Amino acid sequence: MSETLESEKINSIGITCKDVENCAFSNWYPKFKSHTFKSRIYNLSNEFVEYLNAGDGIYLVEDGQPKAANIEEIDSDTEETVFSESEHSQKTPNFPEVEQFIRETIVEYEGAVFPKLNWTSPRDAAWISATQSLKCTSPFDVFLLLKSSDFIYHDLNHAYEHCVDKDEHEEHQQQFTLVLRKWYDLQPSMEFRCFVKNREIIGITQRDTYFYPFLLDMKQDIEQLIYQFFEDTIREEFECNHYTFDIYVERKKDKVYLVDFNPFSPATDSLLYHWNELMTFDIEKETPDIRIIESQAESDSLACNAPKFATNMIPKDVIDLSSGKSIAEFAEEFEKAMRKAESGECSSDSEADEE
């Protein structure tokens, strides 16, 4: 089903801008703080939002990382080149308060955080980081992920596009926030997304679309834990009638942690469901279920048919920088360049050509 038709079905159940705002991190975190991971919130200035939205290149804070340089030819008959930093210096972001907030939070949270804005984390940009994840240990890491992500762009410009009252909301000045959450090495196999319609769970799905054989035996226990957590913690406390929420189940303690809330909207990945079946789900006639990957063949099929984040555009600047390399090759070269810059090494012209 097309996104337009899906949007029309959502409008029929009345998703409003208020529903979307309720899912913004700063609105739900204070109430559910004891049930989720440690986090800090920073209100972003209009200037910083403009920097994230700017399409004039991926300019990042220096923060001990390699500096971008522009190559200017002096004479077409000579091989000599000059690296000019004047233009780059003018465009290098200067947000000392944001950088200080990031550094302080990293220290407070034992060396690593992962970032998000009001609703979304830059998961689609994880490939570009040195760790291939959202783990950040410096302001440079945070800026790189935020500037490289289409998900972040969606937060800034399209968060309300499926709302029935979006036209009335256009004049409202949205306060955007940077959220830094304490980094934990979570097991992807134990992350689940739950869909709620009319304050009832209508579906639960595994978030990571790989095959984990042990989940087959745990399926019923996980479902029971999630329902209990929903009844005890979320159902009467969260204000929306329709929404999704993500949870993490700690296997050893049978404990459930709230990860996030998201709008009941095609902007939220439906994973092992289709939005059409979720929107037409009849609570009185149908029985909700929990869906997990039940075989390696199923996992392989999903990987072939719908690679993760395949529909997200890679910024042109990144494509230009990659010089035709694959994502893995470019990420490796990027990490090498950072290590060289940190150690003070310089590349020869031939090495530069090879890269």
Q: pTM of the entire structure?
A: 0.77
Domains of the chain: 1-23+185-294 (3.30.470), 38-183+324-345 (no CATH)
- Mapped onto helix, strand or coil, the DSSP state of residue 237 is coil
What percentage of the chain carries pLDDT values higher than 90? 59
Question: 58 phi and psi, to 5 degrees?
Answer: -95, 85
State the first-to-last Cα distance of the chain, in angstroms, to the nearest integer.
Answer: 43
Tokens of 292: 């997990």
User: Each residue of 30-45: pLDDT tens digit?
Assistant: 999 999 999 999 999 9
Q: Does 66 score more than 50 pLDDT?
A: no
The amino acid sitting at 75 is D
User: Each residue of 240-285: pLDDT tens digit?
Assistant: 999 999 999 998 878 999 999 999 988 899 999 999 999 999 999 9
Q: What is the 3-state secondary structure (H, E, C) of 115-161?
A: EECCCCCCHHHHHHCCCCCCCECCHHHHHHHHHHCHHHHHHHHCCCC
Q: What is the pLDDT of residue 90?
A: 55
Dihedral sign from CA coordinates of 273, 276, 279, 282: negative
Give the confidence band of 231 by pLDDT, cuts at 50, 70, 90. Answer: very high
Q: Does 127 score more than 50 pLDDT?
A: yes
Q: Does 182 score more than 80 pLDDT?
A: yes
Cα separation, 337 vs 355, whole angstroms = 9
Q: What is the pLDDT of residue 267?
A: 85
The sheet carrying 113-116 orders its strands as 39-43, 177-182, 113-116
Give the confidence band of 111 by pLDDT, cuts at 50, 70, 90. Answer: very high
DSSP label at residue 231 = I
Q: Rg of the chain over CA atoms, in angstroms?
A: 22
Q: What is the pLDDT of residue 126?
A: 92
